[in-house]
Structure 1
Amino acid sequence: MDKTVCIVQFAPILGDVAANIQLLSQRFQSAWESDLVVLPELASSGYRFSCRDEAMACAGTLQDSAFVEFLKQQAETNGCCIVSGFNERYGDDLFNSSILVQPDGVIHLYRKLHLFWDEKDIFTPGNLGVNVFDTPVGRVGMLICFDWMFPEVWRMMALKGGQVVCHPSNLVLPSCQSVVPSYALVNRYYVVTANRIGKERDLLFTGGSLICSPIGSVMVSGSSDQEHVLFAGISPSLSDDKQVTPRNHALDDRRTDVYGNFE
């Protein structure tokens, strides 16, 4: 069954969760015809923290976060799934996380595996592995920003049966948007990279959010510096077709006897 995917490309306000909820409340008004809405990395809090204490001050747990409650209410009211970056506090640890909120209130969690630059001074590396979740949209997986650099995690998504990989991001390097279509192609699934715009302290974010098809085509993309609500129609079942030619299969033809298996 065809589904509609939406990206909200915007500029979160650093350290102000309430303000970011208000921003998203306004931008969501044009997003609710979608089955899946994807937001950028750390959409709850902004990104360029000066220190761990600053990040901790605007973090939340899954159980006591106004941001999570807001997403749950929006998903239930509008009958959609939402994927969003989230500044997660768990005990004494901070994680750069992504949550997948379903209309029935079920929440799935991913914690960023590959920390970028000064994130290593603030966040704990992810400890939940790479997973795919059954949702009303299909089998959905999550990665975050700099995870893009590591082809192993993209391939693991394919081996686990992923149909749509959501990729909340705060990209500053110029390369990711050109590489993502290749990951969609070689793994034969949809990729939804939701990037942010704007500047925080010394970092300028590159926008260019995009949705890619299982044959590597860019279905829709955003500008480098403007807010957008981007839409694309997808057919998740197309991701199950891994046949490249009548005699070549993207997964079955792998030479695991030579280079092993990432699953």
Structure 2
Amino acid sequence: MNTKSTSRSVAVLQMRCVQDKDTNVARATELVREAAGKGAQIVCLQELFHGLYPCQAEDHALFAEAEPIPGPITQAMGKLSGELGIVLVISMFEKRAAGLYHNTAVVFDVDGSQCGLYRKMHIPDDPLYYEKFYFTPGDLGFKSFDTKFGRVGVCVCWDQWFPEAARLTALTGAEILFYPTAIGWHPSEKDEFGAAQHSAWETMMRSHAIANGVYVAAPNRVGSEGEIEFWGGSFICDPYGNLLQKGSVGEDQILMADCDFKLMDTARTHWPFLRDRRVDAYSGLTKRFLDADSNG
């Protein structure tokens, strides 16, 4: 970290998206400006903020939504970050090469320079979430990035269900883990399973905060798109898993919290999970599954 104070103002933004990319980018820009005006130093947008969630069907035409890096979106967001003097985290549909696409997070430092790139590692393939059709799994590994306001780690949506991703990102020195997200309810499931699904989503990430002694922040999109009702519920929690801010189910919102990164040392000293890890005994984690008679 490049400044003496350890307290940072963190904001996550949840917003409805429409078909038109320029409209979404303009709306995101408006919310980022508002957050910065309220004192936010680190701001994170939701997953694939620049368009409707494309993966509800396998449609070749939707590859046209992707952009290279650098490209118009990253140029606009980098300029915005530099103008406002904030750290900005975005998630976008990246065209890396002909026929090669990623779900990618980009981190901009306060001078507008790109200081981080993360490509989503875990790619789902579920009803209405046909991401394997669109996205190649990331090949950059799990990492975090130094910025003026702290060391930022980023994973994306489906990554949030994997404790290995959170642990490996935390082990690179991340002080806060961001999870840009697009998750919601299937109409046929909401009444019976909706509350449990939402609770599991939030609980999983709060557990990452506790297990790794880091802050966690998850911006999730809102609104109905096709057959999905995105449930919002964006939140920021501390290294003990305490919720500092939590968003509504259906409204565009800016959620802000002061995150004192010095608390990480207190949490990790009193709950010394990193100290007590048995790194000599975890070789089995590199296997798909351990049979009952396996020695790992």
TM-score of the superposition, structure 2-length normalised? 0.82
Aligned partner of 1:96 in structure 2 is 103
- Does the CA-based 8 Å contact 2:80-2:112 persist in structure 1? no
What are the residue-to-residue correspondences of 1:18-167 with 2, within 5 Å? 18-32=22-36, 33-49=39-55, 50-64=57-71, 66-92=72-98, 93-107=100-114, 108-117=116-125, 118-167=130-179
Residue 42 of structure 1 aligns to a residue whose secondary structure is coil
Do the aligned partners of residues 261 and 102 (structure 1) sit closer, same or farther apart at CA in structure 2, a change above 3 Å counting? farther
1:123 Cα deviation from its structure 2 partner: 1.0
CA distance in 1, matches of 2:234, 2:227: 21
- Does the CA-based 8 Å contact 1:242-1:251 persist in structure 2? no
What are the residue-to-residue correspondences of 1:229-244 with 2, within 5 Å? 229-241=254-266, 243-244=268-269
Do the aligned partners of residues 244 and 168 (structure 1) sit closer, same or farther apart at CA in structure 2, a change above 3 Å counting? same
Do the aligned partners of residues 98 and 52 (structure 1) sit closer, same or farther apart at CA in structure 2, a change above 3 Å counting? farther
Equivalent of 1:4 in 2, 5, 9: 9
- Does the CA-based 8 Å contact 1:40-1:195 persist in structure 2? yes
- Report the AA paired with residue 104 of structure 1: D
Structure ranking higher in helix proportion = 2
- Does the CA-based 8 Å contact 2:240-2:267 persist in structure 1? no
- Does the CA-based 8 Å contact 2:217-2:237 persist in structure 1? yes
Residue 33 of structure 2 aligns to a residue whose secondary structure is helix
- Report the AA paired with residue 277 of structure 2: R
- Report the AA paired with residue 76 of structure 1: G
Aligned partner of 1:170 in structure 2 is 182
**Equivalent residues, number:** 259
Deviates more, 1:153-162 or 1:207-216: 153-162
1:161 Cα deviation from its structure 2 partner: 1.3
1:261 Cα deviation from its structure 2 partner: 9.5
CA RMSD between the two structures: 1.9
Can you give the 5+ residue segments of structure 2 that lack an aligned partner in the other structure?
A: 185-196, 287-296
Computing the radius of gyration over CA atoms, which structure comes out larger, 1 or 2? Answer: 2
- Does the CA-based 8 Å contact 2:209-2:240 persist in structure 1? yes
CA distance in 1, matches of 2:8, 2:242: 17
- Does the CA-based 8 Å contact 1:45-1:87 persist in structure 2? no
Residue 53 of structure 2 aligns to a residue whose secondary structure is coil
What is the percentage of aligned positions where both structures have the same residue? 30
Query: Residues 41-71 of structure 1: CA distance to partner in whole angstroms, max 9, x if unpaired?
Result: 001223134335333211111122x221221
Residue 252 of structure 1 aligns to a residue whose secondary structure is coil
Query: Residues 210-231 of structure 1: CA distance to partner in whole angstroms, max 9, x if unpaired?
Result: 0010111010000111111111
- Report the AA paired with residue 32 of structure 2: F
Aligned partner of 2:278 in structure 1 is 255
Can you give the 5+ residue segments of structure 1 that lack an aligned partner in the other structure?
A: none
Residue 183 of structure 1 aligns to a residue whose secondary structure is helix
